[in-house]
């Protein structure tokens, strides 16, 4: 039981390049989330999903797209990376319902030059 796994863990991009971060969970959770964390800051919610085939915007969705084609996977895409998207990205999952806790991955560190 691996929990929440994020790939890749590190990536360096040039401005304008595209990439996809993959989040996989093996707990059969309904809800999945993508957060970003900038140095010295708290986590900010980018997008989230309440079930397979659904997505919704969080606090800072601009510049990102997501897809949840399979229940266990939540993909975060950057179509045209910008230096402002340099951050650590965390994925999380939750079984759903009123009081479930979030399980987080270990983070993906992205640098955009």
Partner 1 sequence: DAKTTQPPSMDCAEGRAANLPCNHSTISGNEYVYWYRQIHSQGPQYIIHGLKNNETNEMASLIITEDRKSSTLILPHATLRDTAVYYCIVRIYNQGGKLIFGQGTELSVKP
Provide the binding-site residues for partner 1, judged by CB under 8 A: 4, 31, 33, 35, 37, 41-45, 48, 50, 56, 58-59, 88, 90, 92, 94, 96-107
Torsional sign, CA 15, 82, 70, 7? positive
Least Å from the CB of residue 72 to partner 1: 18
Report residue 33 CA to chain centroid gap. 6
Q: Which of 47, 18, 42 is nearest to 110 (CA)?
A: 18
Nearer to partner 1, 63 or 107 (CB): 107
Q: How far is the CB of 16 from partner 1 (least distance, A)?
A: 27
Considering beta carbons, is residue 37 or 86 the nearer one to partner 1? 37
* 50: DSSP letter: S
């Amino acid at each position: 039981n691996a929990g929440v796994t994020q790939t890749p863990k590190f990536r360096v991009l040039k401005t304008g390049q595209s990439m996809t971060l993959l989040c996989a969970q093996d707990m059969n959770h309904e809800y999945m989330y993508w957060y970003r964390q900038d140095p010295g800051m708290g986590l900010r919610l980018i997008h989230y999903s309440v079930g397979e085939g659904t997505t919704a915007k969080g606090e800072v969705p601009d510049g990102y797209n997501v897809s949840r084609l399979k229940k266990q996977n939540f993909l975060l895409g950057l179509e045209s990376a910008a230096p402002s998207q340099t951050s650590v990205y965390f994925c999380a999952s939750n079984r759903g319902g009123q009081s479930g806790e979030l399980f987080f991955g270990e983070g993906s560190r992205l640098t955009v030059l």
